[in-house]
Amino acid sequence: MNKFALMLGCALLPLAAMAADAPGPGWAFMTPDPNAPAPAGGGGGGGGAAAAAPAPQPGVPVIVAAGKGQDVRPCNTCHTISGMGQPESANLRGLPAAYFVRQMQDFRNGLRGGPRSAAMVTFAKGLTDDEVREIATYYSGLKPTQWTRISESNVAPKTIVGRNSARVKVEGTDTEEVGNRIIEFANSPAAVRQTAEPAFIAFIPNGSLSSGRTLVSTGGGGKTTACATCHGDKLQGKDDVPGIAGRSPVYIARQLYQFKTDIRKGPYADMMKKVAANLSDDEIIAVSSYVASLDPS
């Protein structure tokens, strides 16, 4: 099967729309490559990966596994049944229930923008408060796990971001310069729908982990704020603040850009705006890479 046909169930959006709402580099916002071929059959409904999804397990909320009518797709469509998600979506596993609820309220109230946010706004509006709490309780009870292997390197396998905003490896042995980017993709597309770990690999510029450690641990002499201040000593979360250790580096970078450019709003957004305000592109890469390399559990 053509790799570009592995839609993982996520809906397609016009390429122009995807790029227009991306206040940052295309690698972080998973902006589709204009040369990416259309998926087989031209649809956005599932492809081969959805068929490979494991059967729902006892205790999984119905909406997570099956959705709610035509307006609310199953959560596992993009976030996977394990909750570990993908770089273009979010890892929900182990998020504090109160934080999850607050984010759904922010989507419902139009406080979270960015590519693909329109779908989440629709879902949030289609769920009752009780349904949101049920989903939040489920995901908060799952143990976080490492989902991305970090590799410092000057080169990476050649990849392309498809029209579903998923980065995939191009067939063959061609390579490309990592440059000023994080190149994160699934080692095996089929593994994304299972619970094998880590399913993803991220190639990052050489020296990123060392630079990131300094910024994350000390704030870089006033450049930013030490992450442990809010996210806990091991960055595994504290109270209703989410853990960021071990999450997708591309996802983390995208959130930093969205805080920095005021695309992401909400009760806690102002604090994160100050954290991200003075970070350069290189520093966002470094922070995101180092945080992603840490043990989430």
Q: What is the pLDDT of residues 92-127, one digit of tens each?
A: 999 999 999 999 999 999 999 888 899 999 999 999
pTM of this prediction? 0.88
Query: Which among 35, 49, 22 has a CA at the least distance from the CA of 263?
Result: 22
Mode of pairing for the β-strands spanning 159-161 and 167-169: antiparallel
225: number of Cβ within 10 Å? 18
Does 1.10.3720.10 match the CATH number of domain 148-293? Answer: no
Evaluate whether 268 touches 223 at the Cβ level (below 8 Å): no
For residue range 236-270, what is the model confidence (pLDDT) as tens digits? 999 999 999 999 999 999 999 999 999 999 878 98
Tell which wins on pLDDT, 145 or 12: 145
Per domain, the residue ranges of the chain are 148-293
Q: Average pLDDT of 184-209? A: 85
Residue 175's pLDDT band (boundaries 50, 70, 90)? very high
Tokens of 181: 């980017």
Tokens of 24: 């940052």
Residues 6+ apart with CB under 8 A from 279: 215, 223, 224, 256, 260, 287
Distance linking the first and last C-alpha atoms of the chain: 36
Looking at the predicted structure, is the pLDDT value of residue 208 above 90? Answer: yes
- The larger pLDDT score, comparing residue 50 to residue 187, is at 187
CA R_g for the chain: 18
